[in-house]
Amino acid sequence: MLIKGKRIAIIGGGPGGLTLARLLQMNGADVKVYERDESEHVRVQGATLDLHEESGLKALAKAGLMDAFKLHYRPGADKIRILDKHATIILDEHSHETSRTFDDAAYRPEIDRGPLRKLLLDSLRSHTVVWDSHVISINTEEDGWRIGFKNGTSVTADLVIAADGANSKIRPLITSVKPFYSGITIVEGAVYNSEAATPRMHALLNNGKIFALGDSKSLIVSSKGDGSLVFYTGCKTDERWWYDSQIDFADKTQVTAWFEKEFAGWDATWLELFTNASANFIPRPQYCMPLDQTWEALPNLTMLGDAAHVMPPYAGEGVNMAMLDALELSECLLNTNYTSIHAAIGAYEKQMRARASEVAGVTLESTDILHSSNAMAFMTQLLEQPNL
């Protein structure tokens, strides 16, 4: 086995990094995951995740974790309501029963990020994840790498995999190719205890998701199993709007005023999200890697997930791509047909780039149309397709 006796460092404890750690540990690898969060008890932000049969679920099955997944996923959370800006329901998946099951390739069951992280963590050997490990440096040392952390510690590894997201500290060592701005900026917010804080929105969600569309803008709301909800506006802006606007996104009053102006004419129902938000808002300019990016493989350094191929979230592929990356990278590293780790990395990266470029192209198309005058027709037609 190529990785026998090798010290493997995975930078980042998201779904992609943890899935890779699980798959490699199942085959006897010496793996550590270095995660910047202080502990596993840090609140996991973000919306629920829909896992796809050909990617995220495929990786979980290979990792022997489907039974655990079925204990923690949220039945019905995949159901969508499409509303216009006046909060009128245009299409409602809750209005009819579906027969989709895990045997249906079109089924995309939802799970919250926290439970997904926990089931992956629980599958690893104790002390696999080293918390409070914020990478600040990585340098070559003999035939491997020395990784330095903000807490003053450092470690060495023979093989390093970057799973540290869109702002990866490792990626610049692999390639100088940078992402481009997609033209859309998201403002993210959250409401805790949504049933009490925003009862009308809570009822509209019905434990699922809402896509509100109008005026070439989007507002996506997602329920979570802990009783909270998260929401995301989508608007066409300049790349540095979040900075040039001088909005203090920690100030609810300022952000609410921006929403009232930017989304003028939208029903007051949507405003409740902002006036009842429970934490700071987060502006997120959306970037995408060039569809033709390429680089020469390195002998002991590679990457997966957003570090390798960040793209906007409007096709729901991010976590699925990261988990499929983990599966394919593990298969290459464990494949005895490759004569070296270098060759295995090269094979993985070639297929990963091709797959990511195809998905990114579709994602950019979806991003554009969801923020156009044709958004409503596009979404209703998409959800009415019987094989979706």
pLDDT at 386: 47
Q: Give the integer Cα–Cα distance in Å for 239 and 34.
A: 31
Region 333-361 average pLDDT: 97
Structure tokens given for 96: 């009819």
Q: Check: CB of residue 251 under 8 Å from CB of residue 222.
A: no
Q: Give the integer Cα–Cα distance in Å for 51 and 214.
A: 28
Region 107-123 average pLDDT: 94
Q: Check: CB of residue 49 under 8 Å from CB of residue 110.
A: yes
pLDDT in tens, 158-177: 999 999 999 999 999 999 99
pLDDT in tens, 275-291: 999 979 999 999 999 99
CATH topology of domain 7-41+123-178+291-366: FAD/NAD(P)-binding domain (3.50.50)
Q: Look-up: residue for tokens 């026998």? A: 4
CATH topology of domain 180-288: D-Amino Acid Oxidase; Chain A, domain 2 (3.30.9)
Percent of the chain with pLDDT over 70: 98
pLDDT in tens, 21-36: 999 999 999 999 999 9
Region 295-321 average pLDDT: 95
Is 226 annotated in a binding site? The answer is no
Residue 380: Cβ-neighbour burial (10 angstroms; 0-12, 13-18, 19+) = middle
Is 240 annotated in a binding site? The answer is no
Is 284 annotated in a binding site? The answer is no
Is 306 annotated in a binding site? The answer is yes
Q: Give the integer Cα–Cα distance in Å for 159 and 32.
A: 11
Residue-range domain boundaries for the chain: 7-41+123-178+291-366, 180-288
The sign of the dihedral angle between the CA atoms of 53, 295, 309, 336 is positive
